[in-house]
Copies of this chain bind each other. A is one copy, B any other.
Amino acid sequence: MINQLGAAVPELLNLEIFKSFSKEKILALCKDGTVVTSDHRQVLYKSGETADFFGIVLGGAYKLSRSSMTGEDVIVHFSIAGDVLAAFIMAQAHPVYPVTATAIGPSRFLKLPRENYLKLWKQDSDLIFKIQNLLSLRMALLQDQKAMSKAPLAQKIASLLLILLERNKSTDDMRLPLPLTRKEIADMLGASVESVIRIMSYWSKHGYIQTNDAYIQIIKLDKIIELINKNSEE
């Protein structure tokens, strides 16, 4: 499923990274770009493949994962609309995707050839800085998670939910911006599905959270926050 650019431009104008850019400039930067539509669980690129494109998530969500030596998936990051993928490695001589990108639910992605980065993006130091900031933000997220490595699982889950919730701009509904399975939460935290289920089922029963469809909604935010700060009162 591939559509040409053009129609996507108004969408691009709203993205954080292109704010303050003119329509003409955006069109130039995204020259030869294509809009890719991904189905649920469809793979955008695989870890280890030669990286000949990068791009921007337009809608839906993608999970970035690798598999450990023992074969389990480990999720490194959840990317939602506005997130830039693989731009960081374009500068390398022979870039290879470090992770696998898989769609979560139907999603859309603006696919840009590597050349654009090397020839066009590189010239614009504002753009480079924005990307550098995105990268260091992602780094900070990884570090945050590492800082919780000794915390009990309940705190890790609570913390993850809060972080994802913060990305949801519409503050009125307390719904996570992407559909998550318990397995994906487990893979993100390096835990087992069963353990995640045990904790989240408990929360559901006590009305802290609620899961409609595949979306998770937080009902008692204070309870979740409390969980993070206090010791694990289950």
Contacts and interface: CB of A to CB of B under 8 A. Distances in A.
A212 interface: no
- In the complex, the count of this chain's copies comes to 2
A70 B151 contact: yes
A140 interface: yes
Contacts of A142: 139, 142-143, 146
B229 A129 contact: no
Interface string A44-77: 0000000000000000000000111110101010
Contact of A91 (B68, B69, B133, B139): B133
A135 B135 contact: yes
A72 B136 contact: no
A40 interface: no
Nearest to A228: B69
A171 interface: no
A29 to B, nearest CB: 16
Contacts of A146: 74, 76, 142, 145-146, 190
A208 interface: no
A136 B92 CA distance: 10
A129 B190 contact: no
Q: Which of A69, A133, A142, A146 has the most CB of B within 10 A?
A: A146
What are the 4 tightest A-B residue pairs by CB atom distance, in nearest-first order?
A149-B190, A91-B129, A88-B136, A68-B147
10 contacts: A66-B143, A68-B147, A76-B143, A89-B136, A122-B129, A123-B125, A128-B128, A135-B139, A142-B146, A149-B149
